[in-house]
Structure 1
Amino acid sequence: MANIKFYPHKGTGSSKVYLRLNIGREKDFRLSSGLTIENAKDWNHTTNLPKENTPKNKKLKNRLNDLSKELGKFIDDIEKDEAKGLFDIESKHIKSIIQKFNNLEPIKEKEFLVPYSKWFSNDLKRRTYIRNNVKLYYKQNTVDKYLNFSKILEKYQKHKGHKLKIKEVNTRFAADFLDYLTDIEKKSINTKGRYIKRLKTIVRDSQLNGCKVDPDYMNIKGFQDENIVTFLTFEEIDQIIKKEMPNERLQIAKDWFIISCYTAQRISDLHRFTKSNIQTIDGDKYIVLKQFKTGKNIEVPIHHIVRDILKKYGNDFPPKFTDNEQSQRSILSSLIKDVCRISGLRQKVQGRYNGKKGLYPKYKLISNHTGRRSFACNFYNLKDWSTQLIMNITGHVNERNFLTYIDKSDPTLSRIASAKFDAMEKEYLSKKEAQLKVVNE
C-alpha cells in the first residue's frame, strides 16, 4: 500500500514543499515537489496541504493534489504491470514524474544547440530574475521570443545540413549565422543584433549546466543600429486633433492615438484600458494600471485632451476593433498612418521604414509606439517637467532606458531649442530696451 504526504521543508517563511512516499515498510522516498509555499505558517498539518487563505495557496493546493494523482496513477500502473512490482520503484522514477509534472524534464541532447534552445525557452517559465531588488518571473512574451528564436536556429540548422553542436558556437559561427539572417531571412539590423544576444545567452546557460563550449563564444557581441526616434510635436498632435476624419473607423483610431500621446502607455496597456482603470484619487481623475510589460503600478493623471475624448464616449474609452491584442495592434498601426497622412504630416524626415534608413514622408514612420515616444520627447522639453516626473508616468525603470526615447539627432529638438533661444533673445532685448529707457529718463 502506497501513502503520499506533503510537508514544508521549513517552519516559517518561503519554503520548498517536499513529499514523502511510503510503499509498504521497505520503500520510503523523500523528494522536493518542485513547488514552493510563500509562508510555511500557512500550512495545514492536519490535511498535509496548504490552507486556502490566499489565491496562491489555493493554486498550490490544487497543484499538489494533481501531483498526488500523477504519482498515484504511476503506482497503479506498476501494480497492474505483470513484469514489474512496487519494490522495483526507485527514487529516480519518482523524480522523473515530478520533473515531467513541472515541465522540467531534463534535456536529453545537451550537446546540441537546437534541442537545448527549446529546453531553455520552456525552462524560462520557472526561472526568476532580480530587478530593483525585486524577484520577478519571466513573462510569456519573453518565453515566446526565445521559442521563436529556436525556430530560426532550426531553420539555420536545416540550411547547414547537419545537427548544430553547442561547442561549435564561436565568433566564426556567429558571422556565418549573421550572413544567413541577412541573405536568407532578410532580417533587420536590430533583429539580427537581438538574435546574436540570444544565441550567446543560450550558450552561456548551457555552459552553466555542464555543456562543452568553445571559450571563443564569449567574444560574440550583440548590437543595434543607430537609434532614430520618430515623434510628433505638440503642434503636430494639435494638427491631428483639429482634422476631421472621413469615417468612424479612422476617428476611433485617431482617438486611441491621441490618448497614447497624452498617457505615454504601450499598446499592450492601451489594449487593456477599461472604465475601471479610471479612478478618483485626492479629488482628481487618474488612469490607474499595472503595466503589462514591467508589472509596475502607474497612476497617470488624465490630461484635459484625454478627458474630452472620454466624455465623447460617455466617460469610457473608445471601442476596440477586436478583442485580440495582436489584431488590434496591427489594425491600429495601419490606421494611424492613414490618420497622420490625412492630417497632412507628409514632410520628409529621417527615419527607418521596413528596416531601411532614409528620408520618408513622416506619416509612414508613425507606429503604435509613436504616441509614447511623443509624450517622452515633448514633456522632456518643458522646463517645469523633470525626467523623474516623466518617468513616473511612462514607467521607465531607469533614466538610461528613458533617454533612448529622446533622440539627440532628431532635428525637431534642435528646432525647438532654436525657438527657445529666439524667445530668450527677445526677452533679453526687451529687458535691455527697458533699462535704456530708464537711463534716458
Structure 2
Amino acid sequence: MTTKAYLRKPNSKGLSPISIWYTHRHKWFAVSVGISVEPDHFDKETGRVKRTHDSYSLMNAAIEQVKTRLMNHALKLLINGVDPSVEAVSKLYGGKVLSTELDAVNEIKRDTQAHTPPITTTKFDFHKILEIYSKGNQDISVNTTKQYNLLRNNLLKFEEKKSYPLSFEGMDDDFFEAYSDFLLFDLDYYNNSWHKSVGLLKGFLNWAQDKHSVSTVNPRCSRWKSYNEEKDIIYLNLEELDKLYTFNWDDVKRKYVDLFVLACDTGFRISDLFRSRLWRLEDGMIYTTTKKTKGAAKVPITPRIAEILKRYDSDMRVASEQKANKYIKECIDEIGLNNDVTILRYKRKKEFESVRKRCDLVTLHCGRRSFISNCFARGFTETEILEMIGSKDLRTMKRYLKIETEKLVSRMAS
C-alpha cells in the first residue's frame, strides 16, 4: 500500500488540481487534495510542490495531510485483520465502513456480541506528547524545563500563525524550512538561538520515539542542518575589575557587583556561585564539583575572593540571576565602561551588523570569559586554566578566551 501525489489535467486557467493515488495490490483510487498549482511548480518524481512556488510549504503540508489520512485508514484495517484494499480504504476515507470487508473481523473477534468491534487508530497525538515533554520531570533542572516549554510555545505559535498542522510524520524538509524561517524572521532569532531550537526539537523527536514508541517520526529530521556561530567575547580586564570593585557602591548595588566580581575571579558559572556554601576552602584553595559538567574545579583564594565570601558568610545567594544581570549593566555603565561595540550576527549565512553599548552586553556569564582571558594574560597555561575551571575540553575553553590587542602589539614589538 502506497500513496503519491500527482497532477490532473490543467483547467482553463492553466492550473492543475493535485490528487493523491492510493495503491494496493496493483489497484488504485484517487482523492483530491483541494488545491491547484501550475504544472511547472510541481515535481512529478517526488510528488511535491517545488520551492519555486510562494506557498510550497502550505501546499505540501496539505498533500501530506491527505496522504497521512489515507495511510491511517489502511493501518486501521490491518490492525483489525482486514486487507486494506482500495475499496475498503475508499469507503473509510469517505466516512463509510464497508461491512463486507469487516465480516472477517467479526468472525474472528465475535464472542457474545454481534456488533462490529471498534477500529483503533495508530495516529500518535503530537500535541499531547509535546505537552507531556514540556512538563519535564524530576531528573532535569528548572532551566531545562523552561527550554522544553519554550520549544512547545514556539511550535504552537508556528502552527497558529502559519496555519501549518503539526504531526510527527509531517516534519519533513519543507516543515524544517518553514519553521526555521519562522524562528529567524518572525521571532528574530539569530543562528545560535536557531541552532539551539533545532537541537531541542530533535531531542523531543528522539524522546518521543524512545519513551512513547512513536514510529511515525519522519526520518528526514536527522538530516536537518542549522548554523552555529562564535559569539563576540565581552569581558573585563584586571584594571576594569579593580575599578568596578573599588567604586563606592550602596548596599543594594554592592551585592550585584560582588556576585559579578566573584564570577570573574573564580570563573564559576552562576549555578556554582549559588552553591558557594558547599565549597571546600582548604590550603588557600576553593574546591568544588561543577554542577553542569560534574568537573572537579579548584581556584586559588585571592584577598578579594576571601573578602567577598566573608561579607556574605560564604553564601552567595544574594540575588537572582535575572536581577543581577539587569543591575550589573547599570553598574558597568556608571563607571564609564559604555563605549560602542560593533556586533556581527548571522541568520543562516546572511550577516547583520549592529552597534551596542558595551555595558548592555555584560551578563554574569561574562565572568567566566573574564577569568579565562585574564588568567591567560597573567601567564597561566591552558592546562592550568582547565584544571581551575574543572574542564577537560580545550576547544570549549578557547571559546571563552579573548586576547587583548595591546598584548599582541607588545609581543610583536619585543
- The TM tier, using the shorter chain, reads 0.5 to 0.7
Higher relative contact order (CA 8 A, sep 6+): 2
Q: Pick the aligned partner of 1:255 from 255, 258, 261.
A: 258
Counting aligned pairs with the same residue, the percent is 21
Deviations 1:283-332 (A, max 9, x none): x1333333222233433321222123334x276456714xxxxxx11111
Q: Pick the aligned partner of 1:223 from 216, 222, 227.
A: 227
- What is the match of residue 333 of structure 2? 341
Q: How far apart in 2 are the matches of 1:181 and 1:113? A: 20
Q: Is the 8 A contact 1:278 1:288 kept in 2?
A: yes
The 5-angstrom pairing of residues 295-310 of structure 1 reads 295-310=294-309
Residue 244 of structure 1 aligns to a residue whose secondary structure is: coil
- What is the match of residue 42 of structure 2? none
The 5-angstrom pairing of residues 191-340 of structure 1 reads 191-206=193-208, 209=213, 211-245=215-249, 247-274=250-277, 277-280=279-282, 284-311=283-310, 313=311, 316-317=314-315, 320-321=318-319, 328-340=320-332
Q: How far apart in 2 are the matches of 1:345 and 1:367? A: 14
The 5-angstrom pairing of residues 408-419 of structure 1 reads 413-419=404-410
| Farther off after superposition, 173-182 or 213-222 | 213-222
Residue 358 of structure 1 aligns to a residue whose secondary structure is: strand
- What is the match of residue 75 of structure 1? none
Q: Is the 8 A contact 1:230 1:351 kept in 2?
A: no
Q: Displacement, 1:261?
A: 0.7
Deviations 1:181-224 (A, max 9, x none): 23433334322221112223333454563512433323211322
How has the CA–CA distance of structure 1 residues 153 and 234 changed in structure 2, closer, same or farther, with 3 Å as cutoff?
A: same
Deviations 1:127-151 (A, max 9, x none): xxxxxxxxxx654533442233123
Q: How far apart in 2 are the matches of 1:319 and 1:112? A: 42
Residue 354 of structure 2 aligns to a residue whose secondary structure is: strand
Normalised TM-score (structure 1): 0.58
Deviations 1:351-375 (A, max 9, x none): 479x975332221211111111100
Q: Pick the aligned partner of 2:354 from 344, 358, 375.
A: 358
- What is the match of residue 393 of structure 2? 398
Deviations 1:227-255 (A, max 9, x none): 2111111122122233222x211122112
Q: Is the 8 A contact 2:276 2:314 kept in 1?
A: no
Q: Displacement, 1:110?
A: 5.8
- What is the match of residue 155 of structure 2? 153
The AA in structure 1 aligned to 2:170 is: E
How has the CA–CA distance of structure 1 residues 299 and 267 changed in structure 2, closer, same or farther, with 3 Å as cutoff?
A: same
Q: Is the 8 A contact 2:260 2:364 kept in 1?
A: yes
The AA in structure 1 aligned to 2:340 is: K
User: Does 1:185 pair with 2:191?
Assistant: no
The 5-angstrom pairing of residues 60-71 of structure 1 reads none
How has the CA–CA distance of structure 1 residues 294 and 376 changed in structure 2, closer, same or farther, with 3 Å as cutoff?
A: same
- What is the match of residue 421 of structure 1? 412
Residue 287 of structure 2 aligns to a residue whose secondary structure is: strand
The AA in structure 2 aligned to 1:287 is: I
Q: How far apart in 1 are the matches of 2:392 and 2:366? A: 19
How has the CA–CA distance of structure 1 residues 186 and 350 changed in structure 2, closer, same or farther, with 3 Å as cutoff?
A: closer
Q: How many residues align?
A: 287
Deviations 1:66-97 (A, max 9, x none): xxxxxxxxxxxxxxxxxxxxxxxxxxxxxxxx
The AA in structure 2 aligned to 1:349 is: V
- What is the match of residue 56 of structure 1? none
Q: How far apart in 2 are the matches of 1:151 and 1:110? A: 22
User: Does 1:368 pair with 2:364?
Assistant: yes
Residue 167 of structure 1 aligns to a residue whose secondary structure is: coil
Q: Is the 8 A contact 1:290 1:298 kept in 2?
A: yes
How has the CA–CA distance of structure 1 residues 319 and 112 changed in structure 2, closer, same or farther, with 3 Å as cutoff?
A: closer
Deviations 1:405-428 (A, max 9, x none): 125xxxx53322212334xx2xxx
Normalised TM-score (structure 2): 0.61
The AA in structure 1 aligned to 2:181 is: D
Q: Is the 8 A contact 2:265 2:305 kept in 1?
A: yes
How has the CA–CA distance of structure 1 residues 187 and 416 changed in structure 2, closer, same or farther, with 3 Å as cutoff?
A: same
Q: Displacement, 1:176?
A: 0.6
Q: How far apart in 2 are the matches of 1:349 and 1:220? A: 33
How has the CA–CA distance of structure 1 residues 368 and 259 changed in structure 2, closer, same or farther, with 3 Å as cutoff?
A: same
Q: How far apart in 1 are the matches of 2:174 and 2:299? A: 49
The AA in structure 2 aligned to 1:403 is: K
